[in-house]
Amino acid sequence: MSEIKKVVLAYSGGLDTSVILKWLQDEYHCEVVTFTADLGQGDELEPARLKAQALGVKEIYIEDLREQFVREFVFPMFRANALYEGEYLLGTSIARPLIAKYLVVIANRCGADAVAHGATGKGNDQVRFELGAYALKPDIKIIAPWREWQLTSREKLLAYAQQHNIPIEQKPGQPSSPYSMDANLLHISYEGRILEDPWAAPEEDMWRWTVSPEVAPNQPTTLELTFVKGDIVAIDGQTLTPAQVLTQLNKIAGAHGIGRVDLVENRYVGMKSRGCYETPGGTVILKAHRAMESLTLDREVAHLKDELMPRYASLIYNGYWWSPERQLLQQLIDTSQVNVNGKVRVKLYKGNVIITGRQSKTDSLFDTSIATFEDDQGAYDQRDAEGFIKLNALRLRIAAKLKQR
């Protein structure tokens, strides 16, 4: 352990990482540098700084990564229409490669020997952080306290914190927050406690970003979303940065009860896990992006993207953002988005995202003269369909005749 002189800790300021900070100081006898990524999680940043200072940390890094997070990670993922197991919009998964990147950046900057994280040995995040770190710095040393120490419960963590005068808001034996939560600009997640019973319904006061659809406004909100190369660049004609787009959509969609998901997912380590997620803005982006693609993507390109999407989503979920296969898929996906330009009109109403229009003045493949039910003036010769059908039916007819014999 003495070979570790300085370690960069991914630090949130919560119970787990505050205990880890002190544990690293005591067990490794090393200097701890804290890194906190501002991904839009809210008012946790300054308290994290103050707690790190109280624990004697001299180098404290708090990086505002909100624009980079949405521009370089969230938006590229939405170009693929990524959904893990058909439901999960990957809000936690997509944040981890960026945090891993900056753990390495700061380790290089301050000359640290190792990086550390607070992910448990049961979850996906340990894989995501470490695969990312190894991909970017192959010889990096990684410390994962949950795989080393004996503090195997929340009560033990609280007792350790009290024993070592670690500033926390909660004492052993007192009621605690019922959920383990993770938040960033894309989503907020809830796990643990009552949710560990897949039959138990989440309590209404658990949700923080969305109102219940039952009490959402009785009047819908209609938005016009402008796409350039697959990314939303404006809302109702107002040009916005990527982070501003997501922030505004979160607020508007959350007020209409949009974006709640309750699911049981398959973790990469092998177990099933029940989680609840709020992704209001992301839910709107996914629906609107698919509508924009429906107008501007070639049929076979669109179908190929749909075939590749589950693989792409699994790569992100399992921590392979920095892998060559994800990067190769991203090049294909980004190439497909060159002509995904135009506007989509959406109506938000009581938990629903309803597409009411889509338009592309430069890249629409919708040809009214051919698709019309009225007189097409010979643009489409319906007699051609007979030969088309017969040729496609040829193998079916041959097989059917064989069965008849």
Select which of 93, 125, 231, 358 is catalytic: 125
Q: Which residues pair with 132 in a beta bridge?
A: none
Q: What distances in angstroms separate CA 217 from CA 17, 280, 288, one per listed residue?
A: 40, 15, 21
Distance CA 395, CA 374 (A): 34
Select which of 154, 176, 177, 180 is catalytic: 180
What's the angle, vertex CA 46, arms to CA 42 and CA 51, rounded to 5? 125
Phi, psi at 98, each rounded to 5°: -70, -40
Q: Which residues pair with 60 in a beta bridge?
A: 34
Q: Is there a contact between 32 and 21 (Cβ–Cβ < 8 Å)?
A: yes
Q: How many CB atoms lie within 10 A of CB 112?
A: 26
Distance CA 263, CA 405 (A): 51
Ordered alpha helix ranges (H), 219-298: 242-254, 280-296
Q: Which residues contact 385 (CB under 8 A, 6 or more apart)?
A: none
Between 280-296 and 242-254, two packed helices, what is the crossing angle to 10 degrees? Answer: 110
Q: Is 311 a catalytic residue?
A: no
Q: Is 26 a catalytic residue?
A: no
Q: Which residues contact 119 (CB under 8 A, 6 or more apart)?
A: 125, 126, 128, 129, 144, 146
Select which of 16, 93, 231, 336 is catalytic: 16
Q: Is 345 a catalytic residue?
A: no
**Residue 363, helix vs strand vs coil:** coil
Select which of 66, 79, 96, 128 is catalytic: 96
Q: Is 231 a catalytic residue?
A: no
Comparing CA positions, the residue from 98, 39, 118, 124 lying closest to residue 322 is 98
Q: Measure CA of the first residue to CA of the last residue in the chain; give whole Å.
A: 79
What's the chain's Rg over C-alpha atoms? 25
Q: Is there a contact between 184 and 74 (Cβ–Cβ < 8 Å)?
A: no
Distance CA 286, CA 264 (A): 21
List active site positions.
16, 96, 125, 180
